[in-house]
Amino acid sequence: MGLPKPPLTVRLIIGILSAKPELANEAKQKLLERFGKVDLEMPPVPFAHTNYYKDELGETPLRSFLSFENRIERESIVDIKLETNEMEKIWNRAVNLDPGYMTLGQFFLATTKDQRHRIYLGKGIFAEVTLYFENGNFHPFDWTYPDYKSDVYIKFLEKARERFAYHIATGHPYSERGKNARSV
């Protein structure tokens, strides 16, 4: 019989989607104030995989990602998603924030939308396992959003995973590598 134990803490990653760079920058600053230092940032890239956000964001939104240095408890993603939904209201939904978290084996997105492949977490929030890590790379599922299947997203998430693995293995954030080595 297995005994329940708390899982490892995870890496918070938040996607920022907006057609207005100044608003995306405001969102980034607000996220930094709330969640702390960024371990890795993906510069904005065109979001051209779907026109789902056309009415809210216009025809040329850009997506960027922030991978935060501080690790979080998995269950905190529920409140983080609710909080980022509230933040979106500040910019009249001209900014879309997509929080998720990474383990060494998966990348999850938090969502308010129920589907057959999503698990209910509480307070109206579901989790979707979006990517899985195998043989040194992240891989999508049939249901993975097209943009999360793109090389640019996957390369960013693999680099974020590498830094997260360092953090787990050493107990120190990637930004401190080399500072904690002992002199011989």
- Break the chain into its structural domains and give their ranges: 12-171
φ/ψ of residue 50, rounded to 5: -160, 160
> 57 near 18, Cβ under 8 Å?
yes
Q: Mind listing the pLDDT tens digit for each residue in 73-105?
A: 999 999 999 999 999 999 998 999 999 999 999
Q: Mind listing the pLDDT tens digit for each residue in 43-61?
A: 999 998 777 777 788 778 9
Other beta carbons less than 10 A from residue 89's beta carbon: 9
Distance CA 28, CA 38 (A): 10
